[in-house]
Amino acid sequence: MATMLNPMETNELTNHFVVIHPLDDLPEEKVDTESLGPMAMTTSVRISLVSLRAYLILMMLLVFYHVMNMAGLFGHRG
Amino acid sequence: MSNRAIGAPASGLETEVMPVRGRVVKSKWTRDLLTFLMVVGPGLIVMVADNDAGAVSTYSQAGAQYGTHLLWVVLLLLPITYFIQEMVVRLGIATGKGHAAMIYQRFGKWWGLFSLVDLELVNFLTLVTEFAAIDLALNKMGVDPRFGVPLAAAALILIAVTGSYRRWERTVVLLCLLDLVWFALAYGLRPPMGQIVSGSLAPSMPAGGLTPELMFLVIAIVGTTIAPWQLFFQQSCIADKRLRFSDVKWARLDTFLGACVTITAAGCMMIAGNASSMHGFAFTDPAQMAVDIGSFTNGFFKNAILLLMINAAVLGTTAISLSSAWAYGEVRGWPHSLQLPVRKAPGFYVVYAVCVAAAAGLVLIPRAPLQLIILGVQVLAGVMLPSAIIFLQLLLNDKELLGEYSNKPWNNWVNWTIIIVLFALSLILAAQVAAPNLFPA
């Protein structure tokens, strides 16, 4: 889980602040995504994604057919 | 923002936590301003680069055909584009990884590869349209594209291969600031202020009513303002810049500022199109529009619009090519950072250079099927956008991944509404382009 550093890590008494460019700062600990593995999904989300996959495959085939048709591969131009 | 307190110089411990290259400031106001200036970049670039050559064409066509009537659509897109990119900000900062890597890791190989292939394909086709616009603008300026297009491609490759993220970012932010010239141009064209205010704030139907042509122009405006590559680009850019958790609010401000600049510039492009139309010129393309505007103003307006068109294409090209290179590097596990020299990330830079060079080369081929390519861009982007945003939404609700940075209920209400509208619009656009007979004019 993500944790947040205190953005106001400053010393109010001295009233001096150091601003560091992100590329000059020490590397920050991020979420370890590789250890998390695939996302846990509910059945409805899983079904929705399968439907989305079917929709995308269908649309890609439709686009492919249309482009081939326009390019004259099926004998006439669309 | 990583602001560390420094105490008395004698304090060894506090001296140790002082960064080597930090800037010491005395007031909170200066600290905040300096921090913002250090963080600004990914949000501004992604938004301004979104006003690429295709966008210049779409917005100026909308202004030429419908005057100020569609300004409200553009204004409505400001919060929408901000909300979508703000999610990317949180995801990028929390994970420190790009969007393609996240999809691959959290949704598996099929979705990872599908997203990558679709992104690379749409991006490449879009790059061809960017160079086609450069070719068109150079022609109108009297410059031989056979000389100008390769020169632009070489410059685009050179700005990325310096091995310094900061050098690339500074160059690109400077180009982004040139977009502000649109404001001066729109003002110089003496726009009808009353109509602009009413067109922006009070939606009204243009003369002729709701025609298929109007509907598809509105869809094209939405499609050109919110593009799939933006999600991939900004998240990878944030990861490459190594923004920290404490930078979230500044990265949000960067994104909001970028959204304001890009939406206002889009409005200015519409105003330019409207001015051309008011003088009796029919819209064909933005380069011709520049020539038409030059005929009733002066040469400055013509050349400025043509140069801005080239600038838009250059910005679009560097951002889109980088989104391709970052995504490919993330999925292949190659080193992929602008901070690395070419010898340490050869694959990343080769993908970037090949994208740029191949798109530029294709444009120079006589009788290249540009119309087919533009069609491909519209359909594939239309197909890809809703699915890309759905993955973004699922990732942002992944509490295991984002913890306190995951979406709040109100975020979800807003985002699902946006997704449903975009899904419907992209479905209509994709169906219309793929099967034009479904929507007779």
> Interface pTM (ipTM) of the complex?
0.84
With residue B86 as reference, give the H or E element that holds it: helix B71-95
Å from B194 to nearest chain A CA?
A: 44
Q: How confident is the model at residue A53 (pLDDT cuts 50, 70, 90)?
A: confident
**Cβ of B201: how many Cβ atoms within 10 Å?**
10
Cα torsion B59, B62, B65, B70: sign: negative
Å from B387 to nearest chain A CA?
A: 7
User: What integer pLDDT is reported at residue B137 of this predicted model?
Assistant: 94
Residue in A9, A19, A25 to test binding to B, most B beta-carbons within 10 Å: A19
The rounded distance, in Å, linking the Cα atoms of A44 and A49 is: 9
A78 or B48: which carries more pLDDT confidence? Answer: B48
User: What integer pLDDT is reported at residue B440 of this predicted model?
Assistant: 57
Chain A, 3 to 42: residues with Cβ < 8 Å from chain B are 3-11, 14-28, 30-31, 33-34, 36-40
User: What integer pLDDT is reported at residue B12 of this predicted model?
Assistant: 32
User: What integer pLDDT is reported at residue B164 of this predicted model?
Assistant: 95
User: What integer pLDDT is reported at residue B5 of this predicted model?
Assistant: 33
The rounded distance, in Å, linking the Cα atoms of B259 and B79 is: 8
User: What integer pLDDT is reported at residue B14 of this predicted model?
Assistant: 40
Of A5-14, A60-69, B337-346, B430-439, the least confident = A5-14
User: What integer pLDDT is reported at residue B378 of this predicted model?
Assistant: 67
Tokens linked to B439: 């929507």
Taking an 8 Å cut-off on Cβ atoms, the answer to whether A9 and B430 are in contact is no
Local structure of residue A19 (DSSP, 8 states): E
User: What integer pLDDT is reported at residue B368 of this predicted model?
Assistant: 74
Domain boundaries, chain B: 42-367
B2, B107, B405 member nearest A25 (Cβ): B2
Task: Specify the CATH number of the domain B42-367.
Answer: 1.20.1740.10
Chain B, 96 to 125: residues with Cβ < 8 Å from chain A are 96-97, 101-102, 105-108, 110-111, 114
Q: Quickly list H helices, B51-164.
A: 53-66, 71-95, 99-140, 145-160
Q: Is a pLDDT exceeding 80 seen at residue A74?
A: no
The pTM of this model reads 0.89
Residue in B27, B34, B125, B245 to test binding to A, most A beta-carbons within 10 Å: B245
With a CB cutoff of 8 Å and minimum separation 6, the contacts of A28 are A5, B96, B242, B244, B245
Å from B388 to nearest chain A CA?
A: 11
Chain B, 399 to 418: residues with Cβ < 8 Å from chain A are 399-405
Q: How confident is the model over A44-62, as a mean pLDDT? A: 83
Q: What is the mean pLDDT of each run of 10 residues along chain B (441 residues)?
A: 35 43 89 96 97 91 93 94 94 94 90 89 92 93 94 97 96 96 94 89 82 79 86 96 96 98 96 95 92 91 96 97 96 94 96 96 83 70 77 90 90 88 76 65 52
Q: What φ, ψ does residue A17 adopt, rounded to 5°? A: -130, 145
Domain boundaries, chain A: 41-78
Tokens linked to B21: 């290259």
Chain B, 32 to 91: residues with Cβ < 8 Å from chain A are 34-35, 38-39
Which residue of chain A has the CA closest to B243?
A: A22
User: What integer pLDDT is reported at residue B324 of this predicted model?
Assistant: 96
